Structure 1
Amino acid sequence: MDLKYKRILNYITYTFFVMFFAGKLHAQKVEIGKTFKGKASYYHKKFSGRKTASGERLNNSGFTCAHKYFPFGTMIEVENPVTKKWVVVRVNDRGPFSKSRVLDLSYEAAKMLGMISKGIMSINAKVVGKDGEILLYREGSTEDNFQQIFSKDSLQVVVPYLPETSASKKKN
């Protein structure tokens, strides 16, 4: 009887772990083009330099964010629905740990969206890439948009060919 009970317990434990990890693998899929809305907050400057869940140090002057389950390296376009200002951020941390929020943004990304004085703001977001590579981009985007955003990021971000702007044409 004792051996039978032990086998049943092992089977239940094994089944639980398989179901748990299978659920985690499913949650790690990145669906390019997926849109979502919600509230976002940002990291205070005092968190700059601390390690994120990915092992990378938080660079508050970069364009990164925390998301509960998107894989590290997922690229998300975040828009302020009122002003229509937008940025693209890269997931490098886990969070936010508040049920009412969907993203924690770096200080610089929050500043570009105009949310510093508000603290928490409603946002529209879209998954635009993975593994640090932007696969979708907003109509009218130019090289200069992305140069401005990612020049301060700690990791290299790959941007597809974009139309040149008049400013970049003058440089050549």
Structure 2
Amino acid sequence: MRHFDLSPLYRSTVGFDRLFSMMDQMANVENGTGGYPPYNIERTGENAYRITMAIAGFGESDLTIEVKENTLSIHGEKAAKEGEERGDVLYRGIAERSFDRRFQLADHVIVRGAALENGLLHVDLVREIPEALKPRTIEITTNTDEAKVIDQKAA
């Protein structure tokens, strides 16, 4: 597949930066650079989500999880252990390469925690909408006395 350079469009447009960034990300996924490690995103409740990543061979000390400006970044890098002798590998099927996976979080989504279990990294997310932004019902009242007073003043 061909790669399209969108950088000239960045210079000639205002306000479409996010659109072009999303197109760049899609191109990276199609080219195969965005496929490791594999992951699932699941809904675990009405406002709860979980990202599960398959990261066999990585330990807690090899992982870094960071949230900054609605972007969740998960970085993994295997640290070379000194003095450890490894035999000649005849076939390498378990990937131990470094990775950097980013997820764009919606507004009011926060990370509750992360757990590493059986080679799977689970990151729990919750959407917490502030009270001021939640929909509320407004009670309708009819006060006929006030309406009469207003009519009398106007007349």
Query: TM-score of the superposition, structure 2-length normalised?
Result: 0.24
Query: TM-score of the superposition, structure 1-length normalised?
Result: 0.22
Higher relative strand content: 2
